[in-house]
Chain A
Amino acid sequence: MLSLFVGLSSCKNGKSQIESISYGLTLSPSGIDPHINASAELGIPLSSVYDTLVFQDPDTGDFVPGLAQSWTISPDALTYTFELREDVVFHDGTDFNANSVEANLNYIVNPDHLSQKAVIMLGPFEQVEVLSEFSVAIHLTAPYAPLLDSLSQVYLGMASPSALGKWGPTEYQFHQVGTGPYRFVEYIPNDHLILRKNPDYAWAPSVYQQNIAAIDEIIFKFYEDPATRSFALETGEIDIIGEIPPQEVDRLLETGEFEFQPVPIPGQPTQFFFNSSKSPTSDARLREILITALDRQFIVDTIFGAYSPVAEGPLSHQLFSYTTTSPYPDYDPDFAVEQLDELGWRIEPGSRVRSKDETPLELSIVAPPWGSNSEVAQLMSATWENLGIQVSLEIAPGFGPLRQLQDSGEYNLIGINFFGTDPDLLSSFYSTDGFYNWSGQSDAELDKLLSQAKAATHDAQERQLYYSQISEMIREQALLIPIRDYVNLVVVRSDIIGLHFSPQGWFPYLIDLRRAP
């Protein structure tokens, strides 16, 4: 047994062996078709299987050519015209051209395919028009500033139309064909996913440092349970993994075998929404007091260690449109107690819970199980309980149960946050008919600002101004408790170099990975 093992490992080090690394994923998505499914995890491997029409530069935030060499946006912002590269070939040998773009977009908007994310990212999409073999136009029904951002992401990556047609929406996810630096080889759900180098890749965008992949094969494995992640690194099962629990980072670094790379994730911070349509959090003054009573720095230090900054608004610091709002109140428990008394929530003799007109002060918190939301919620409830508030906490074990609890409306606070590089993600959270309007508020002025910001395609400065007004309104109404800007704690084996990420933060540029000589 032992000799067999020695034999195997020496084989691994042999020069003739192919260069291979394994990458740990932290979620096991229910489906991994980027045109159909919504998981961010699927983008980690698949961003390197597909190329997109444009890419976003992680340093400047500018959009740079990808499969499209150039593009123009009409003055009314309703038509985007793309001139495509003429030398691109899909992994299955078919050519990439304007018809491929047409086929992909029509595949996404086909209502039978039940696209969960890509179709939403296309916004007010009207139709796609093939102008010539390598020229294509996208027509919108209304201006939609986030379109280039959408087109730079894997969800709108270009797949081989013949593969899409051959496999159809249920089976395509197991037979994906793109044009990217890696080819899709095999996917066994919950088990592994294998990518192999595309030796014919010759159209690398400027965001990549290399022109062709150095690692022959990348195997992805799933580690949903945070307790197993650092263990898998130490045992050599995997070389790279994100979402390492903060307390484990220092210990892993002490071994000297690993490098640590904290990657800020743009989008919304870890946050809790107040339900403004349910008593007692329907009272904006009470919401303000509850924020004042929280020591957010202490919460962040306790749970996230030194690696995440405290969040100060509805968007994280990394977003280009992040604008400082009026600061959120400083931690002041004495002032909070004073204010609670003043509002009429008093502790009657013989009771430990504050009440007003015989109604006890009760809060119900609902939190998702991922991303330390549960720990944040536990510290929040401990703090508020200290002030004489009765808090009940429920952790929904998954997204389905979370939505069911949200649907019932029986909560005062709920934790949810989305990631993204375009601030328009705020509109589904704060507009009256937004799908994630979980704070249950309805404000005509906020709605108007959100739609104006969405339409400001040509004027980035104007757009930024709108978002700072929006952030300000959210702050004034105390709809939100921002906790910390999300940082993905990635740990990588020291002999692997070149790990860097797309602006979305989650998706690595796998083409640039190398093993140190």
Chain B
Amino acid sequence: MVPLLNRPASRTLIAIGQRLIFGLLTALTAVTITFFALRLAAGDPLSSLLAQGLATPLQAEVLRVSLGLDQPLTTQYLDFLSSLLKGNLGNSLYTNRSVITVIMEQFQHTASLALLSLCIAVILGLGLGIIAAWRKGSNRSWLAETISGLATSLPVSFTGILTIMILSLSIRTISGSRVLLSSKELLLPALVLGFASSGAIARVIQSGLEESMLAPYMLAAKARGINKESRLLWHALRPSLPPAISLIALEASFLFAGTVVTETVFSRPGLGRLLVTSILQGDYPIAQGIVVLAALFYTFSQSLADILAFISDPRLEKAN
């Protein structure tokens, strides 16, 4: 990281610190909004428990007091924040197990899916973006643009179903398709999800490349006799990376939500399906825990992307 060395270390540290504090405050606001939005929308968290006869009114009263639901909303909010700081998200209304434990059980499934999808999205997005910018107006560029357009527009529900259909037709025709089947567990869902996210990345890369291709330093590079491939891949690509990085961070949290549909279509365990079941059962603390964690994850990845962008692009220092 050459640009890092061009700056005094103290200034870099201050800038990173600023971004971290900013990220923390954003997370706090997001958690606050989540808490109040959910509480207003979901109503009495115990009503469904009562309605299902899983608790008598007396038991519900006891539970209400032990959950602090008899306190004013602001007190509940402060309690929620202080236990969140201690890493405690409460207990499931149904099984009384700790929300963190329940979430952690499912986390690995969603994390592996999201990570692989992200890799696929980045590789596919970079590829499509570069091809589209390579020779604007050529057939190949048009094709790349169309594919990335499709990627942004096709709903995951539909691409997922198409994939399953192709798979289920192929197991009847292609011999040795068991190999293909093993991919159903992780690779195919990740492809479906990764494809959906690749479109936006491709677009950012493409427009970044097109912009920097017109920049004076590219002319200079051309004058120095550097061939087009190197110019595009080295000189032009680098300045278009920071926006791509922050977009990738954005996509990472989009992936988190995208797993809801993918996990349903492919019948995979994970946080998405946990959220759906807990919403349907009215297990309020679990639903809240998942949304809060997703929000924290998002702000964390955004701050990280911010810092990475800061390090990789010296121009951002002036804008700071």
Contacts and interface: CB of A to CB of B under 8 A. Distances in A.
Q: Do chains A and B touch in the complex (CB under 8 A)?
A: yes
A188 B105 contact: yes
A235 B184 contact: yes
Given A190-B106, A224-B267, A400-B48, A1 B179 contact: yes
Interface stretch (B3-11, B18-26, B74-82, B269-277): B269-277
Interface residues on B, range: 35 or more
Given A5-B182, A236-B178, A31 B274 contact: no
A435 B164 CA distance: 42
A400 B52 contact: yes
Interface in A397-417: 397-401, 403-404, 406-407
A232 B283 CA distance: 29
B15 to A, nearest CB: 43
Given A2-B176, A30-B281, A223 B95 contact: no
Interface of B: 47-48, 51-55, 59, 92, 94-97, 102, 105-106, 109, 164, 168, 171, 176, 178-179, 181-182, 184, 264, 266-267, 269-270, 273-274, 277, 279-283
Interface of A: 1-2, 5, 9, 28, 30-31, 38, 111, 114, 116, 169-171, 173, 188-191, 222-225, 228, 231-232, 234-236, 397-401, 403-404, 406-407, 435
B48 A397 contact: no
12 contacts: A30-B281, A189-B102, A190-B270, A191-B109, A231-B164, A232-B267, A398-B280, A398-B282, A400-B52, A400-B281, A401-B280, A435-B53
B283 A30 contact: yes
A399 B182 contact: no
B51 A403 contact: yes
Top 4 A-B residue pairs of the complex, sorted by shortest distance between their CB atoms: A398-B280, A400-B48, A403-B51, A400-B282
A403 B282 CA distance: 11
Contacts of A9: 178
Nearest to B161: A227
Nearest to A435: B53
Contacts of A232: 267
Contacts of A225: 264, 267
Given A31-B95, A190-B269, A234-B171, A114 B176 contact: no
A235 B171 contact: yes
A190 B184 CA distance: 17
A515 B97 CA distance: 38
Given A38-B54, A189-B105, A234-B168, 11 more contacts: A30-B283, A189-B102, A190-B105, A190-B274, A190-B277, A223-B267, A235-B171, A398-B281, A400-B280, A400-B281, A401-B48
A403 B181 contact: no
Main SS class of interface, B: helix
A399 B106 CA distance: 23
A5 B181 CA distance: 11
A114 B283 CA distance: 16
Given A188-B105, A400-B51, A30 B267 contact: no
B277 A28 contact: yes
B283 A399 contact: no
Contacts of B97: 170-171
Given A30-B94, A170-B96, A397 B105 contact: no
Contacts of A399: 52, 280-281
A235 B279 CA distance: 31
A240 to B, nearest CB: 17
B92 to A, nearest CB: 8
A38 B273 CA distance: 21
A30 B59 contact: no
B164 A2 contact: no
Which one of B54, B168, B182, B264 has the highest number of Cβ atoms from chain A below 10 Å of its Cβ?
Answer: B54
B51 A231 contact: no
Nearest to B55: A114
A476 B311 CA distance: 80
A30 to B, nearest CB: 4
A397 B59 contact: no
A224 to B, nearest CB: 7
Contacts of A222: 267, 269
B191 to A, nearest CB: 16
A207 B8 CA distance: 81
Nearest to B96: A170
Given A191-B269, A225-B264, A400-B48, A116 B181 contact: no
B275 to A, nearest CB: 11
Contacts of A30: 92, 94-95, 277, 281, 283
Contacts of A31: 94-95
A187 to B, nearest CB: 10
Nearest to B274: A190
B153 to A, nearest CB: 24
A222 B270 CA distance: 12
B264 A116 contact: no
Contacts of A228: 266-267
Which one of A1, A225, A397, A400 has the highest number of Cβ atoms from chain B below 10 Å of its Cβ?
Answer: A400
B177 to A, nearest CB: 9
B7 to A, nearest CB: 47
Contact of B95 (A170, A190, A234, A407): A170
Contacts of A435: 53
Nearest to B106: A190
Which one of B95, B106, B266 has the highest number of Cβ atoms from chain A below 10 Å of its Cβ?
Answer: B95
Nearest to B177: A235
A404 B267 contact: no
B75 to A, nearest CB: 26
